[in-house]
């Protein structure tokens, strides 16, 4: 096989939490008097919490201190985690679980590489930890995507060189991070990308048939 390991982004790849992010950020935008819609929400995909906040605040006429920004980010995360509590194993389709099992049975190391600091909680709600040999999330990195740190660290956690790993992403920042880390990338979905990924797939269920 061309690869020894697969590193998956979480949100938008293995599950969808967009509706929870949208609702939580929408309330933040309303508080600061900034516009917010699906187009703006798309810009936040794969981006850290504080960077996402700065994108929203750029649409506000108000100015905010660092302390106020920290408060806004904390309140957004509290709202988001309350919404995440609605998640259950049903939010990871059986076909996705089957695909992960097929990849693991083929001898590949599987890891999660997510900028989200809530990744561990989401995986717990999904009852999905057993599919992965390692999880690297936003609590373990100093630089979020498009910096490659989360992916290179995930590769190291499963004992592999970056070049031996394929990243599976849905966001432009993740594609850029994969390239910066010297990794091939499979993009899930149809969101516009700054350059062509190694593979384009409809969803994770198509991955085994693409690379095995």
Q: For each of the chain's 212 residues, which pLDDT tens digit applies?
A: 899 999 999 998 999 888 898 999 999 999 999 999 999 998 888 788 999 999 999 999 999 999 999 999 999 999 999 999 999 999 999 999 999 999 999 999 999 999 888 999 999 999 999 999 999 999 999 998 999 999 999 999 999 999 999 999 999 999 999 999 999 999 999 888 999 999 999 999 999 999 99
* Residue 9 a catalytic site member: yes
Task: Please identify which of the residues 11, 91, 170, 184 carries the catalytic annotation.
Answer: 11
Is residue 170 part of the annotated active site? The answer reads no
Stated pTM of the model: 0.87
In the chain, the domains with their CATH numbers are 5-16+89-211 (3.40.50.1000), 18-84 (1.10.150.240)
Q: What is the pLDDT of residues 17-33, one digit of tens each?
A: 888 989 999 999 999 99
DSSP-assigned states of every residue in 6-75: EEE-SBTTTB--HHHHHHHHHHHHHHHT----HHHHHHTTT--HHHHHHHHHTT-SS---HHHHHHHHHH
């Amino acid at each position: 096989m061309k690869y020894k390991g697969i590193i998956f982004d979480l949100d938008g790849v293995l599950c969808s939490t967009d509706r929870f992010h949208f609702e939580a950020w929408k309330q933040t935008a309303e508080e600061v008097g900034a516009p917010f819609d699906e187009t703006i929400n798309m810009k936040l995909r794969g981006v850290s919490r504080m960077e996402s906040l700065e994108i929203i605040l750029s649409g506000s006429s108000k100015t905010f201190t660092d302390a106020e920004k920290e408060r806004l980010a904390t309140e957004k995360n509290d709202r988001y985690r309350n919404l995440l509590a609605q998640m259950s194993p049903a939010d990871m389709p059986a076909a996705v679980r089957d695909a992960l099992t097929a990849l693991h049975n083929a001898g590949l190391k599987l890891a999660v590489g997510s900028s989200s600091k809530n990744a561990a909680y989401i995986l717990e709600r999904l009852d999905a930890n057993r599919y992965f040999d390692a999880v690297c999330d936003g609590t373990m990195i100093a630089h979020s995507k498009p910096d490659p740190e989360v992916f290179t660290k995930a590769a190291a956690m499963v004992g592999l060189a970056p070049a031996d790993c394929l990243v599976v992403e849905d966001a432009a920042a993740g594609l850029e991070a994969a390239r910066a880390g010297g990794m091939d990338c499979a993009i899930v979905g149809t969101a516009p990308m700054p350059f062509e990924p190694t593979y384009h797939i409809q969803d994770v269920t198509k991955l085994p048939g693409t690379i095995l």
